[in-house]
């Protein structure tokens, strides 16, 4: 996928390309946050076009359905998820989580990460929407499709639907030679920040991903983004 990087992120990326992406030395539990930077263009556009999705990042908010969207082929995509929109998410089979139950929260992360990665066809924004940098949950229905940030948002919406604390789920922008600039979902757990990634079914501590961290959304203050790592 493509992102419009601001000057601070571009300088960070280009000026340190020869440095290993995984820092040496003791691991940090939580992603370090530096100076404030602009939010990614796609996130800002989402906040303008689908404010309910943007507002759902606040700790006191609940996930709300976004407007219906059509992809490049004219197929309507129900947002935020087919399961929630169609009422097929079985709350009896998936009971609401206790927000301080770390083992149950961790199990939910693994369950949702694996399911979304398996059922969503990974396609570019240009293929799905006919334009670049569209941040929308992918859905999980038969025609569900999206790229990295769409799957990350889908996982987040599904976790919110299970009562996962909103202020413990936030977006991160990373880089590697293999992926280029890439979006992931970060879950703040008691032992540290964990990464849910559309490129792997393994949930990984932030500093063991092999990525160079570029920017991160502020937990609990979603309108604010910082340099990361």
Measured distance CA(145)–CA(148) in Å, rounded: 10
Judge whether 55 lies within some domain: yes
Average pLDDT over residues 119-127: 95
Strand-pair category, 145-146 with 169-176 = unpaired
What are the tens digits of pLDDT across the range 2-29? 555 553 444 444 344 333 333 333 455 9
Judge whether 1 lies within some domain: no
Residue 153 has pLDDT above 50, yes or no: yes
Judge whether 2 lies within some domain: no
Measured CA distances, 62 to 35, 36, 78, 147 (Å): 29, 26, 18, 24
Is the dihedral angle over the CA atoms 58, 59, 61, 64 positive or is it negative?
A: positive
The range of the structural domain enclosing residue 163 comes to: 7-228
Residue 61 sits in a domain whose CATH number is 3.10.620
Judge whether 51 lies within some domain: yes
Measured CA distances, 23 to 26, 28, 227 (Å): 9, 10, 16
Is cis: bond before 168, omega within 30 of 0?
A: no
pTM of this structure: 0.77
Measured distance CA(58)–CA(163) in Å, rounded: 14
Domain count, the chain: 1
Closest C-alpha among 116, 117, 150 to residue 133: 150
Judge whether 109 lies within some domain: yes
Judge whether 202 lies within some domain: yes
Q: How far apart are the first and last CA of the chain?
A: 21
Judge whether 128 lies within some domain: yes
User: Predicted confidence band at 1 (pLDDT cuts at 50, 70, 90)?
Assistant: low
DSSP structure class, residue 168: G
Judge whether 120 lies within some domain: yes
Closest C-alpha among 115, 116, 151, 114 to residue 136: 151
Residue 39 has pLDDT above 50, yes or no: yes
What are the tens digits of pLDDT across the range 175-222? 999 989 999 999 999 999 999 999 999 999 999 999 999 999 998 888
Name the CA radius of gyration of the chain, rounded. 17
Q: What does the pLDDT read at residue 118?
A: 96
């Amino acid at each position: 996928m493509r992102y419009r990087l601001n000057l601070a992120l571009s300088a960070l990326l280009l000026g340190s390309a020869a440095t290993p992406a995984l820092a040496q030395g003791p691991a940090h539990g939580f992603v370090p946050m530096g100076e404030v930077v602009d939010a990614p263009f796609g996130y800002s556009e989402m906040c303008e076009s689908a404010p309910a999705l943007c507002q759902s990042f606040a700790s006191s908010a609940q996930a709300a359905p976004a407007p219906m969207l059509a992809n490049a082929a004219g197929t309507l995509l129900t947002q935020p998820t087919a399961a929630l929109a169609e009422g097929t998410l079985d709350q009896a089979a998936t009971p609401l989580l206790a927000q301080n139950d770390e083992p149950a929260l961790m199990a939910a992360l693994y369950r949702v990460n694996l399911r979304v990665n398996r059922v969503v066809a990974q396609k570019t924004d240009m293929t799905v929407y006919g334009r670049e940098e569209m941040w929308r949950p992918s859905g999980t229905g038969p025609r569900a499709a999206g790229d990295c940030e769409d799957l990350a948002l889908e996982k987040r919406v599904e976790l919110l639907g299970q009562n996962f604390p909103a202020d413990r789920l936030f977006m991160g922008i990373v880089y590697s030679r293999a992926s280029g600039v890439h979006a992931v979902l970060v879950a703040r757990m008691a032992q540290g920040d964990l990464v849910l990634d559309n490129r792997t079914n393994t949930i990984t501590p932030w500093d063991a991903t092999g990525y160079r961290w570029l920017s991160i959304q502020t937990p609990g203050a979603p309108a604010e983004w910082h340099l990361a790592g």
